[in-house]
Structure 1
Amino acid sequence: MTSGSPCPLAEKPPEKRFLTPAETTCLIAENGKRVLNQSLSRTLLLSLLAGVYIAFGAQLATIVTHDAAPIIGDGLARFVAGSVFSLGLMLVVICGAELFTGNSLLTKAALHGHIRWSSIWSNWTVVLAGNLVGSLFFAWLMFHSLLWEQGQIAERALTTAQAKVELSFAAALIRGILCNWLVCLAVFMATAARDVTGKILACYVPIMAFVASGFEHSIANMYFIPTGLLLAGVPGLEAPGLTWGGFLANIIPVTLGNIIGGVIFVGFAYWYIHLKALRTS
């Protein structure tokens, strides 16, 4: 284990309503040390919970907006979907869970020398697998809850899944970059907030923005697309082209995009701005 440069701003966060960007960057880098002492079972369980929490927000967005566009317009329907979808990250941040996209910020700890890069790869592998299992489990639960028997809701879920698998590699990659840029900014701001109300607001605005904009989140898609695949087997519901191969063809570029967006545009950018001088001094 390499010994990183001290980050004095994070040793004892000041008692105030929010941290400055420099203080927040330090605190995130310090918090990254948790991967060194956290057991595999703990990481896996927290990852399963995160997959379920994101799926809670995703299914809520589907149900709330399945018939909204003809009434309030597509733009406002997207705004409502994003508003309720933000529940997922609120649960992750406030209740505690390991979300792959948010863990892009572990790169701050590696860049600052607190953890090895191999620790990040190991964490990402376990967390991504746990998020996937949690998302699939929740999709299975929702399918067997029979809440999807209402035709319009099922059709909306199928349409959402179909649209995602039809994206080109380049479009999915770019939408993934833009998505996790916002998700990691939400985590950054939630870390800066010192109370629950501040953390809720920090999660809400960026997540609402990415959903309303149509960006792509890998863990959310691990719920959306399998839900469509389950529904495609129901008599009367058709989804041509919706296959597990299409699921992988979406998840791969979206995941790569999420990594680029979180690691480069948030993790590296703020480390370079606030911590690079400390690392090299």
Structure 2
Amino acid sequence: MSYLTPPEFATKMVDAGEAKIKMSTRDTLIRAFMAGAMLAMAAAFAVTITVQTGQPLAGAILFPVGFCMLYLLGFDLLTGVFTLAPLALIDRRPGVRFRSVLRNWGLVFVGNFAGAFMVAAMMAVIATTGFSTVPDDVGQQLGTIGESRTVGYAEHGGAGMLTLFIRGVLCNWMVSTGVVAAMMSTSVSGKVLGMWMPVMLFFYMGFEHSIVNMFLFPAGLLLGGDFSVGDYLLWNEIPTVVGNLVGGLTFVGLVLYATHVRSGGSSTKAPLQEDVRVPLTR
């Protein structure tokens, strides 16, 4: 069967976390770079669809194509390693240390940002015909997104920061569920279906994804968005990264590990035997 049981795919999660931690610096950066670039392309695709159709749902339905492609190609997102890498540490896999988890996170962050920024620069060139014209409709939309999701949060102070954090938590709850759902199946179609649903949900709901934002906000700055690099870092990227870490690790990684890898065991007691009376024979 193409479906794996929860204990089976939960063990695969720990194995995947160990493999990512022990991966060479070269491979980690290459895979993270390509993941950031492909997710950025998907975000640009979704924004373009939304602008052209006027239907945000259409963009959300088609956005997961980038996530599915990068996963099937074996590339790594920060949101995924936030969930998987710590499990290898918790499971006490040989050679896995806390500093090696931090190293993996740092390398993936750098690679994701570099890939997403490259696509942001390319899209800025396209939207302005090589910076020779004002931004087109898609470029103007990218600038507006950057403003509303940085300065827009800042206007509400602490309440805005809390909202941003919670949106980051909910985002990686869904995205990491997609990562795990792909492990439930051994068929490509099963993996794609499992990934598609939660990723579509997070995008349409407007939750905050740190790598998508590595594309949206630099693109917005390049296209004349009315916010600063400081606004982007303080009022989006940093709290989003923290929220993504909490959401993926708490509601996906630790929950599945606790109940399917380190299960508390069955609390069902064996049924009592019936009182069978054997008739006396004469």
Task: Structure 1 unaligned segments of length 5 or more: list them.
Answer: 1-15, 70-76, 233-238
How far apart in 2 are the matches of 1:96 and 1:277? 29
Counterpart of 1:261 in structure 2 is 247
CA contact (8 A) 1:102 1:187 kept: yes
Counterpart of 1:10 in structure 2 is none
Write the letter of the residue equivalent to 2:170.
L
Cα shift readout 1:213-262 (whole Å, capped 9, x = no counterpart): 11000000000011110000xxxxxx33x111111021000000000000
How far apart in 1 are the matches of 2:97 and 2:253? 15
Query: How far apart are residue 68 of structure 1 and its match?
Result: 2.9
Counterpart of 1:92 in structure 2 is 70
Q: TM-score, normalised by structure 2?
A: 0.84
Quick check: 1:106 aligned with 2:85? yes
CA contact (8 A) 1:112 1:276 kept: no
How far apart in 2 are the matches of 1:44 and 1:254? 21
Select the residue among 181, 184, 200 that pairs with 1:189.
181
Q: TM-score, normalised by structure 1?
A: 0.84
Quick check: 1:219 aligned with 2:211? yes
Query: How far apart are residue 67 of structure 1 and its match?
Result: 3.9
SS state at 1:208 partner: helix
CA contact (8 A) 1:82 1:211 kept: yes
Alpha carbon RMSD of aligned pairs, Å? 1.8
- In our comparison, the structure showing a higher alpha carbon Rg is 2
Select the residue among 190, 203, 226 that pairs with 1:198.
190
Write the letter of the residue equivalent to 1:110.
L
Query: How far apart are residue 146 of structure 1 and its match?
Result: 4.0
Select the residue among 253, 271, 274 that pairs with 2:260.
274
Cα shift readout 1:97-142 (whole Å, capped 9, x = no counterpart): 1110011222222221123222211100110111011111111111
Select the residue among 102, 110, 113 that pairs with 1:132.
113
Quick check: 1:154 aligned with 2:139? yes
Counterpart of 1:38 in structure 2 is 23
How far apart in 1 are the matches of 2:260 and 2:97? 20
Counterpart of 2:56 in structure 1 is 78
How far apart in 2 are the matches of 1:61 and 1:36? 32
Structure 1 residues 147 and 192: alpha-carbon distance in aligned structure 2, compared to 1, 3 A threshold: farther
Select the residue among 40, 51, 57 that pairs with 2:42.
57
SS state at 1:33 partner: helix
Indicate the percent of aligned positions where both proteins have the same amino acid: 31
SS state at 2:149 partner: helix
